[in-house]
Structure 1
Amino acid sequence: MNNGKYVFAQLTEFLPKRIFDCIVARYHGDKYVRHFSCWNQMLCMIFGQLTNRDSLRDLIVAIEAHSRKTYHLGFGKSVTRSNLAKANEKRDCKIFEEFSYYLIDVARKKRENDNFEIKGKVYAFDSSTIDLCLSVFWWAKFRKNKGGIKLHTLYDITTQIPAFIHITAATVNDVNAMDYIPYESGAYYIFDRGYVDYERLYKIAILSAYFVVRAKSNLKFRRMYSRKVDKTKILQILGISLLDKTPVLELLTSIDYKDVKELNYKQLTFSLF
């Protein structure tokens, strides 16, 4: 008979409880709590994610099936649907958000790649819509008979780990999430054409960062000058000027000679002028 730790306990053993307790104390998460602490709550929710539970009721049924093991799994002496639901509703979500960003930062440092071809951080930003049942998540109304939220993710390409996550209603336009990105000086940010908003992009330049974004087909601009390049190279840099009152950009045209395709990008990199 195996007398060692349960697999779930081994999986969560690496979590730094001392750091978590400091965050909980900062937000007074365990104030007046006797039995079901924030740590117990987090482990219950992790268990629900790893076992693919669909609801709190489903999660509690799974936990009750191992009622004699709950203490050793880290859930506390007893877990009920009411106290778990109350904890999820009342406790500050910033506790778990701050702890998750701490773990992300640790993971990113372990995945740093000094051999990456571009010096500095390179990020890609995009969103994904997560469908929700409207009858259950009535607050997340997206369309007439559909609910949903948007997960806006800043993906660190150099470490291949998400660096920032922002959740909004599915009705929120993607460009609005750009206001919450923690921009870093000297970093590169890659966007799709859905994020073409020149006022927001210009703010990136003010912070001494750079961006690359797909150009929209209706963009009005005129070419100011050209530079000769080796035709065997796939990158051509053209100076351009927009016809309206917006910051000066550079047009990067990547030419795929095999498929004879051109992909137009806008990049704000003053050092190339």
Structure 2
Amino acid sequence: MGRNVSRSSLARANGDRDYHIFEAYAYYLVNEARQKRVTDIFKLGGNVYAFDSTTIDLCLSVFWWAKFRKKKGGIKVHTLYDVETQIPASFHIIEASVHDSKAMNEIPYESGSYYIFDRAYNNFKMLYRIHQIGAYFVVRAKKNLQYMPIKWKHRLPKNVFSDMTIGLTGFYPKQYYPEPLRLVRYWDEEQKREFVFLTNATHISALQVAELYKKR
């Protein structure tokens, strides 16, 4: 070619191209990078993912379709992060006004893998879907969670206040997740606060449940 291509020319050229080409290539590179950094920190026999969102503010007069608040625009970037390789596995972008839990439907779930969520993702319909495909989740419970204790563990390790099997009692939650769940109450010495986790992983210890969340 012999000449540099200006950014404006490149932008115009890319404007006529299907973005799926770049998306597919990006995910190819991500997968290659993950394979180079394969580790097994948790010794659980499956991949460990954390899922969370970041809100990016946008100028509403330019990005009119991204209305977030009365005078503010924005989008949310949901990232599925491979905790062990420390490389993002996938991204999903939606309007900032959409609740975080709606994006759970976009995750490419894998049987045998672990998915770590914060409180915004107490979507019991989606959590039950994770359970049904043979994957596992750890999610922080909301403070207003309605449940009934079924069975307790009496011998508990340090900093674990309780480890019990529960049934959900809320009208919709018990319909969306009709099977028992595990609830773990854990005291974090570093932050000097209590965390309450819900999980379907009954085969790991309560400390492993807490450690999964801490590493997210």
Q: The TM-score by the shorter chain falls in which range? A: 0.7 to 0.9
Structure 2 residue aligned with 1:263, among 185, 195, 199? 195
Q: Please report how far the alpha carbon of residue 168 of structure 1 lies from its aligned counterpart in structure 2 after TM superposition.
A: 0.9
State the partner residue of 2:82.
156
Aligned mates of 1:131, 1:251 — CA distance in 2: 36
State the partner residue of 2:212.
none
Confirm whether residue 96 of structure 1 aligns to residue 22 of structure 2: yes
State the partner residue of 2:33.
107
Structure 2 residue aligned with 1:216, among 126, 134, 142? 142
State the partner residue of 1:137.
63
State the partner residue of 2:110.
184
More strand by share: 2
Aligned mates of 1:262, 1:79 — CA distance in 2: 55
Aligned residue identity for 1:249: L
| Contact 1:229/1:236 (8 A) holds in 2 | no
State the partner residue of 2:207.
none
Q: 5+ residue gaps in structure 1?
A: 1-34, 36-67, 71-77
Confirm whether residue 174 of structure 1 aligns to residue 100 of structure 2: yes
Aligned positions of 1:46-57 closer than 5 A: none
Q: Please report how far the alpha carbon of residue 88 of structure 1 lies from its aligned counterpart in structure 2 after TM superposition.
A: 3.6
Secondary structure of the structure 2 residue equivalent to 1:127? strand
Q: Percent identity?
A: 48
Aligned residue identity for 1:156: D
| Higher RCO (CA-CA < 8 Å; seq separation 6+) | 2
Q: What CA deviation, in whole Å up to 9, does each residue of 1:47-91 have, x standing for no partner?
A: xxxxxxxxxxxxxxxxxxxxx751xxxxxxx4463x444334331
Secondary structure of the structure 2 residue equivalent to 1:238? strand
Q: 5+ residue gaps in structure 2?
A: 205-216
Higher gyration radius (CA) = 1
The worse-fitting range, judged by mean Cα deviation, of 254-263 and 130-139 is 254-263
Aligned residue identity for 1:251: L
How many residues matched? 198
Relative to the length of structure 2, the TM-score reads 0.82
